[in-house]
Amino acid sequence: MYLLSDAPVAQDALLAKIEGSGVRLAGLDEKDIPAMRRLMQKFRALPMDFADATLVRVAEREGIQEIFTLDRRHFAVYRPARGQAFTIIP
């Protein structure tokens, strides 16, 4: 949503797509914070922000390899704990 902040119509369209396709939203809790801190330290040179750390953490935890993001520049570099590059969509 941040990358679409100048395009509210696009934000609305993305939310409608998420609502209509049965996308499951994964939660975070305090147990995820150490791993997110580790990721943010590992990718400090980019830097990795909190939102990106949450996405990478959930992908690690849930075994997700595909990431939907418009931030190809960062997600082409990020690696979850298992070390494989993400498949970026779109």
Q: How many domains does the chain have?
A: 1
Which residue segment(s) compose the domain that 35 sits in?
Answer: 30-90
**Cβ(90)–Cβ(68) below 8 Å:** yes
The answer to whether position 89 is within a domain reads yes
Q: Please indicate, yes or no, if residue 19 is contained in any of the structural domains.
A: no
Do 36 and 11 touch, CB atoms closer than 8 A?
no
Judge whether 14 lies within some domain: no
pLDDT score, position 14: 87
| 18 in any annotated domain | no
pLDDT at 28: 94
Q: Is 16 contained in some domain?
A: no
- Residues of the chain predicted below pLDDT 70: none
Task: Enter the pTM of the model.
Answer: 0.81
The pLDDT score that the predictor gives to residue 50 is 94
10, part of any domain? no
Q: What pLDDT score was predicted for residue 20?
A: 86
Looking at residue 68, what is its pLDDT?
Answer: 87
Alpha-carbon distance 71 to 3, whole Å?
Answer: 8
Place of tokens 């939102």: 51
Q: Answer yes or no: is 41 within a domain.
A: yes
